[in-house]
Structure 1
Amino acid sequence: MQPNPPVPHTATVDANGVHVTTAAGKSRTYSGGEVMTLTQVIDLAEGAATLCQSSLETCLELVDESAELAADCEVLIAEITEKEVGANLIGKCEYLKEQLALQAAAAQKVHDQIQGGEEACRMASANAEVRHGQIFRAVADSPLTKPAERDFYNAR
């Protein structure tokens, strides 16, 4: 039996915890306490994946912005060289360009790491349903409202 593909959830974080809104429109807030149900595990994993996805976009924007600023530095260096303003200013522009290249590389590295985290969260969500979904539904659908007495579990 193949699981349904994961459905994106929206998630926000504030001082009160993680607020997850499912595709069905249900909203839950997790304050960092213990997760009690399979649905909560799946929602948290999908919410974390959504947060990772927005961070990925931010990292890519930073990479692009750093590349644009480095290109601007290149133009500025050419103009300074043409006008023969001074070697000190050219050196500072070269240093700035190098720092922008380092920033772009760091943002790309963080992007790659977050991408792995997003994949892990989505996989955890899908695996939770595959591995535990049937027993979860069996318990949820059971007419029993309380666990068995201790002697039932200790019987051999």
Structure 2
Amino acid sequence: MQPNPPIPHTATVDANGVHVATAQGKSRTYSGGEVITLTQVIDLAEGAATLCQSSSETALELVDESTQLAADCDVLIAEITEKGVGSNLIGKCEHLKEQLDLQAAAAKKLHDQIQGGEESCRTASANAEVRHGQIFRAVADSPLTKPAERDFYNAR
């Protein structure tokens, strides 16, 4: 039996916890306490993946912005050199360009790491359904309303 593909969820984080909105329009808030059901595990994993995706996009925007500013520094250095303004200003512009290059490299590295996290969250969500979905549905569909007595579990 193949599980349904994961459906993206929206998630936000604030002081009250993680707020997840499912594709079916349901909304849940997790305060950092225990996760009780398989549905909550899947929702949290999908919500975390969505947060990773938006963070990854922000990191890419920072890479692009840093790269553009570094290119602008190159143009500025060329103009300053052409006008013969002074080596001190050129040195400061070159230092700024180096820092922008470092920022772009760090943002790219962060982007790659966040993408790995997003993939892990989506995998965890899909695996939770595959590995535990049948037993979860069996328990949820069961007419029993309370767990068995301790002796039932201890019997062999």
Q: TM-score, normalised by structure 2?
A: 0.99
Structure 1 residue identity aligned to 2:23: A
Specify the alignment match of 1:154 in structure 2.
154
Specify the alignment match of 1:130 in structure 2.
130
Alpha-carbon deviations, 1:5-30, whole Å to 9, x = none?
Answer: 11000000000000000000100000
Q: CA deviation at 1:155?
A: 2.1
Aligned length: 156
Q: Secondary structure at the match of 1:85?
A: coil
Q: 2: CA distance between counterparts of 1:87 and 1:111?
A: 36
Q: Secondary structure at the match of 2:43?
A: helix
Structure 2 residue identity aligned to 1:102: L
Q: CA deviation at 1:149?
A: 1.1
Q: 1: CA distance between counterparts of 2:106 and 2:2?
A: 38
Q: Secondary structure at the match of 1:24?
A: coil
Q: 1: CA distance between counterparts of 2:94 and 2:150?
A: 74
Any gaps of 5 or more consecutive residues in structure 1? none
Q: 1: CA distance between counterparts of 2:44 and 2:127?
A: 13
Q: Secondary structure at the match of 1:145?
A: coil
Structure 1 residue identity aligned to 2:147: P
Q: Does residue 17 of structure 1 match 2:17?
A: yes
Specify the alignment match of 1:27 in structure 2.
27
Any gaps of 5 or more consecutive residues in structure 2? none
Structure 2 residue identity aligned to 1:21: A
Specify the alignment match of 1:58 in structure 2.
58
RMSD: 0.6
Q: 1: CA distance between counterparts of 2:88 and 2:46?
A: 51
Q: 1: CA distance between counterparts of 2:90 and 2:154?
A: 80
Q: TM-score, normalised by structure 1?
A: 0.99
Q: 2: CA distance between counterparts of 1:64 and 1:148?
A: 59
Structure 2 residue identity aligned to 1:58: T
Q: 1: CA distance between counterparts of 2:61 and 2:139?
A: 46
